[in-house]
Amino acid sequence: MTAPLRVAVLGAGTVGREVVRAFLERGEDLRSADGATLVLAGVAVRDVAKAVATGIPEALLTDAPAHLVADPDVDVVVELLGGEEPARTLIAASLGAGKAVVTANKHVIAHHGPELEGLARRTGATFRFEASVGGGIPVLGPLATELAANRIQRVRGILNGTTNFVLTAMAQEGRDYADILAAAQAAGYAEADPTADVEGHDAANKLVILARLAFGVWMDPATVALVDAGGPGHGLPGITGVSAGDVTLARADGEVIKLVATAERGLDGAIVASVLPLRLPAAAALACTDGVLNRIEIEAEPIGVVAFSGPGAGGAATSSAVLGDLVAIARGLGSTWAGLAPAGVPPAGAGS
């Protein structure tokens, strides 16, 4: 009989809380006929008393995530702290110790992907990050497995729910960017500091991860273009330069403005990537993707075009991907890149 896998969850915020609740309330759903049993071994939080008040048993809690990572009885580390540090250090330490890691941290993966992939491959640790792109939408797994025999030409999509919510509201209500953003913040759809979302950095990080699996390279996020002086953003990053007037003009032409992330092969083999506000035909599938939904389209040979859409953020949706990765580890399915070759470096000129 396969020994149980003991799982440590670092962080019990929006996503972590849902993951912990799944263990506590429906642990049987995390079992598979052909894999190991998953057991919740501990949960690291900043405020133990607050976590107890939410229903997490005190015996599972600690305010020292590094202790859980170092615990020899922990087999799998789920990093849901967010931010760069200490998340990067804890992920690296876990992989270095040969422990499997699941994370939703797109910033850490996009900015430290080469280091972390190399570390996981050297130690043989499983590294899974389906939840880092598209929330609960399963797209990274299919890219690395079912679509692995295709030559990917282009990946593009709406990868950020906050900006899509704002642009949708601008189109439907005729109000300006600043007014809608303030309303989105009040409703909890935008952070108090929305810079990473509205300037396109969040979508750029996700695009880097998609490009790793689509094209076999780790791009530098700094090479993803965020500004187009000739587009509706008027030379400002992300959606910060899109006005109500731009939206009205687009509508008059039968078009809709969306923040679209694109990575594609150039004629010279370089991967060209951008996150830009674009005018799309109103009947196009991307144009019809409204609110906080995400949509990712993949163009490849021989399959043609396939698309993935659904809830791209939120605790429940993102926890679905995290829990799916845990079940995959229990079944011995390996890292998110599956059988793909180790990542290379982009050809000269990539992203330019």
Strands 151-158 and 293-301: antiparallel
Residues 245, 249, 251, 257: is their CA dihedral positive or negative?
Answer: negative
Strands 38-44 and 61-62: parallel
Mean pLDDT, to the nearest integer, of 291-311?
96
Q: How far apart are CA 32 and CA 196, in angstroms?
A: 38
Integer angstrom CA distances of residue 285 from 71, 157, 242, 295, 304: 48, 10, 21, 9, 16
**pLDDT tens digits, 33-78:** 888 999 999 999 999 999 999 999 999 999 999 999 999 999 999 9
Strands 304-311 and 293-301: antiparallel
Report which of 53, 339, 338, 91 is spatially closest to residue 61, judged by C-alpha positions.
53
**pLDDT tens digits, 187-226:** 777 888 999 999 999 999 999 999 999 999 999 999 999 9
Give the 3-state secondary structure percentages of the chain, helix then strand then coil, rounded to 5.
40, 20, 40
What 3-state class would DSSP assign to 59? helix
pLDDT at site 159: 98
**What residues are paired with 10 via a beta bridge?**
44, 79
**pLDDT tens digits, 151-189:** 999 999 999 999 999 999 999 999 999 999 998 888 777
For residue 344, the 8-state DSSP code is B
* Average pLDDT in the chain: 94
**Which residue numbers are catalytic?**
206
Q: How far apart are CA 273 and CA 350, in angstroms?
A: 8
The total number of residues written for the chain in this structure: 352
Q: Measured at the alpha carbon of residue 176, what is the angle toward residues 276 and 247, in degrees to the nearest 5?
A: 50
**What residues are paired with 25 via a beta bridge?**
none
Cβ(211)–Cβ(263) below 8 Å: yes
Report which of 249, 212, 215 is spatially closest to residue 232, judged by C-alpha positions.
249
Q: List the domains of the chain with CATH numbers.
A: 5-128 (3.40.50.720), 149-311 (3.30.360.10)
**pLDDT tens digits, 218-255:** 999 999 999 998 889 899 999 999 999 999 999 999 99
- pLDDT band at 349; cut points 50, 70, 90: very low
| Single-letter code of the amino acid located at 25 | E
Cis? peptide before 194, omega within 30° of 0: no
Strands 5-10 and 76-79: parallel
Query: Can you give the pTM of this predicted structure?
Result: 0.95
Beta-carbon neighbour count of residue 170 at 10 Å? 23
pLDDT at site 346: 66
Q: Which of 130-134, 138-142, 295-299, 348-352 has the lowest mean pLDDT?
A: 348-352
pLDDT at site 350: 45
Structure tokens at 194: 């929305």
Cβ(326)–Cβ(102) below 8 Å: yes
Distance of CA 77 to the CA centre of its chain: 18
Q: Which of 135-139, 278-282, 345-349 has the lowest mean pLDDT?
A: 345-349
H helices of 174-314, where? Answer: 177-187, 195-198, 201-215, 244-252
Radius of gyration of the CA atoms of the chain, in A? 20
Compare 257 and 1 and report the one with higher pLDDT: 257
Report which of 132, 130, 127 is spatially closest to residue 100, judged by C-alpha positions.
127
Mean pLDDT, to the nearest integer, of 135-149?
96
| Single-letter code of the amino acid located at 227 | V
Structure tokens at 68: 């859980």
Residues of the chain with pLDDT > 70, as a percent, come to: 97
Helix (H) or strand (E) holding 173: helix 161-173
For residue 31, the 8-state DSSP code is -
